[in-house]
Structure 1
Amino acid sequence: MEFSASKRIIHGFAPAFALLLLGSLAAAQSPKKSDYLENIALCNGPGHTSLAARIGGCTAFIDSGQGTKTALAIAYNNRGNAHTINGDVDRALLDFDKSIKLDPTYAKAFNNRGGAYLRKGEYDLALQALDEAIRLKPNYGRAFVNRAGVFLKKHEYDRAARDYDEAIRLEPNLEAAWSGRCWTRAIIGSLQAALEDCNKVLQSWPNDAATYDSRGLIHLKIGEAAAAIDDFSAALRVDPKLASAFYGRGLAKLRSGDKAGGDADISAAKAIQSGVDDDFVRYGVRADN
């Protein structure tokens, strides 16, 4: 699958916000204490809190004037995360900048700023932010995953693989690291190792469209067209607009002798994403292979 920034960016929400220095004891005992604590809880985004509620809670807390610098840095970071997920990346970047200004040692804000720049396609700025996150917190597995995502976009696959290796070493349960490494290994031709990574992800997360898509590419490259079709179809059941899965399935169908089905899938892929055929050439797969 073509690397999807929205699916692979790992954000740094800050739970236990309420345990930080949120204000004076007098403020905590004010008549508006319940509202104050509710805003903190919403800003932390527990459970299935909507993005609008997270943003509203963070904004109310920030505007209350009751937070310490540390707490405000977390609130801006959390609001920035919500804006990023909501697709408002420019507004998110403003929040991450404010968070970093309040606390220049806050690695999560640098990580999330890097993720936001990745979404915007500003890869050099993303790398600067992620390098700083890793400098501040060398054991930050999520930042290594996000930096690997930047390297994928820059087609620097060996560097991406090294970052995924480090992320897995630091945080062995990061799904995005295993799935991303599967994809990266599939591109560079380490197919058996890639297959092992994908299988590991799907054992624990059986509805991950990107990993099915990656495994489909592996099967396509090793000549197992039927298995590739099954995996690409599984990816499309989860994500019906995944252009790379349509294109890969189309190639697999063509190689199986199903010209009508293959041509239809390839046309669907190109309608969703222009240049998807060029992507597959870069991955080492041509339509006439």
Structure 2
Amino acid sequence: MPRFIAISTISRLAVAFICAGTFATPGLAGMTQDLADCTAADRKASADACTRVMNSGRLPKNQLYIGHFNRGSAHFHAGSYDKALSDFDKSIDYNPGYADTYYKRALVQHERGDRERSLADLDRYLEKRGEIAEAHINRARLFRRRGELNQAFSELQKASALDPGEIKAQILRALVLSDLGEQGPARLEAEKAVTAGADNADAYYARATVAFREASYAAALTDIEKALSLKAAFPAALMLRGRIEEQQGEKDKAAASFKKVLEGAPKSLDARAAQDDARARLTTLEPLAVVAPVSNPAPQSQSRSEPAASVARVSECRRFIPSAQTTVAVECPK
């Protein structure tokens, strides 16, 4: 998955600065550091460094897309999705042929709740780069959030054909099969994922989800605790734990787990659905509690929730409604 334009690429910017005489000044060390920071999206200084590079006046116009791409990546990493979207739009304006910008913009639109535009950008990315497993995995996530489970599974099959060892596809395949009510096949997929990724919290969460839906609560709790030992701020795993505690009559423990769900990382697997579900459960358990909203909420008109761990099974002639977290009977096709 593209994160930023690498040093080997942006080092060409340094060449441009050197040729223009910029590095003949006392600002050499500062500009060298800015160029380094601008290529590292996870540094706090990254966005400001990219801004200084672009505002220096020495950067050739045909390389401005690099600065906007890297600054957009830094904003995305920090959770500033509107700023990230603006930078990716500008990067594409400067260089519409750079495929990775469409991929990163798709991720931003995914987080903002704009599923249709996210899918469109992933399509553009695939058109420009060819078949990439990671893009199909992200398409699967989008389809799953929309409740289009068969389409999600098809995307995961494509991803696995392209990269048979891709564990993210295995994990999502287990969850989608479980969403569809196919717990036996889902369990087998989850077992494969745990075997392949013994230190992967998502794999244990997937297996716990299947166990939870099979009412095997002891097994589910064992995997939940393992997942949380690997990734403490894991909203979906905390949500599963809270649901089991609630079913066992431990309402205080359940409420504490649901509150921790709201403190977790919103980008992790099934996080937003878990946080929506936690708010609903806290409203039931603690009617007077004030539940904090999610940061960077998706636009109401576009918001769709990912199926939570407590979703009912989807069967023929029924339809999953993400906003209600349930399935309803529908007229069967003639």
Distance in 2 between the 1:182 and 1:20 partners?
44
Residue 211 of structure 2 is matched in structure 1 by: 219
* CA apart distance, 1:193: 4.3
Residue 270 of structure 2 is matched in structure 1 by: none
Cα distance change on mapping 1:72 and 1:177 into 2, 3 Å: farther
Counterpart of 1:133 in 2: which secondary structure? helix
Identity of aligned residues (%): 24
Q: 1:284 aligns with which of 295, 309, 313?
A: 313
The reply to whether residue 31 of structure 1 matches residue 33 of structure 2 is no
Residue 118 of structure 1 is matched in structure 2 by: 110
State TM-score, norm by structure 2: 0.68
Q: 1:41 aligns with which of 36, 43, 63?
A: 36
Q: 2:162 aligns with which of 151, 170, 174?
A: 170
Residue 77 of structure 1 is matched in structure 2 by: 69
Query: Which stretch shifts more, 178-187 or 28-37?
Result: 28-37
Instruction: Supply the AA of the counterpart residue of 1:148.
Output: A
Aligned-pair Cα RMSD in Å: 3.3
> Quick check: which one's helix share is greater?
1
Deviations 1:182-216 (A, max 9, x none): 32222223445434443444445444333322110
Aligned partners of 1:246 and 1:268 also within 8 Å = no
Counterpart of 2:63 in 1: which secondary structure? helix
State TM-score, norm by structure 1: 0.77
Aligned partners of 1:148 and 1:161 also within 8 Å = yes
Distance in 2 between the 1:172 and 1:19 partners?
35
Cα distance change on mapping 1:12 and 1:182 into 2, 3 Å: farther
Deviations 1:13-66 (A, max 9, x none): 222323657654623784156554443322221xxx752222233222222333
1:122-141 → structure 2 map (5 Å cutoff): 122-141=114-133
Aligned partners of 1:12 and 1:109 also within 8 Å = no
1:130-209 → structure 2 map (5 Å cutoff): 130-203=122-195, 205-209=197-201
Distance in 2 between the 1:239 and 1:283 partners?
26
* CA apart distance, 1:132: 1.6
Aligned partners of 2:242 and 2:258 also within 8 Å = no
Distance in 1 between the 2:97 and 2:172 partners?
28
Residue 267 of structure 1 is matched in structure 2 by: 255
Distance in 1 between the 2:184 and 2:57 partners?
56
Query: Which stretch shifts more, 206-215 or 87-96?
Result: 206-215
Counterpart of 1:67 in 2: which secondary structure? coil
Q: 1:229 aligns with which of 214, 221, 227?
A: 221
Query: Which stretch shifts more, 146-155 or 11-20?
Result: 11-20
Distance in 2 between the 1:233 and 1:203 partners?
17
Residue 6 of structure 1 is matched in structure 2 by: none
Cα distance change on mapping 1:78 and 1:200 into 2, 3 Å: farther
Instruction: Supply the AA of the counterpart residue of 1:159.
Output: Q
Query: Which stretch shifts more, 22-31 or 87-96?
Result: 22-31
Aligned partners of 1:212 and 1:235 also within 8 Å = yes
The count of corresponding residues between Structure 1 and Structure 2 is 270
Query: Which stretch shifts more, 34-43 or 57-66?
Result: 34-43
Distance in 1 between the 2:178 and 2:110 partners?
22
Deviations 1:132-156 (A, max 9, x none): 2222222233222222222122111
Structure 2: segments with no counterpart, 5+ residues: 263-274, 282-306, 315-324, 326-334
* CA apart distance, 1:241: 4.9
Query: Which stretch shifts more, 24-33 or 222-231?
Result: 24-33
Distance in 2 between the 1:78 and 1:242 partners?
28
Query: Which stretch shifts more, 121-130 or 82-91?
Result: 121-130
Distance in 2 between the 1:165 and 1:126 partners?
20
Distance in 1 between the 2:212 and 2:65 partners?
47
Aligned partners of 2:10 and 2:66 also within 8 Å = no
Deviations 1:229-280 (A, max 9, x none): 101222233444544334433555677xxx244x445434544434357834
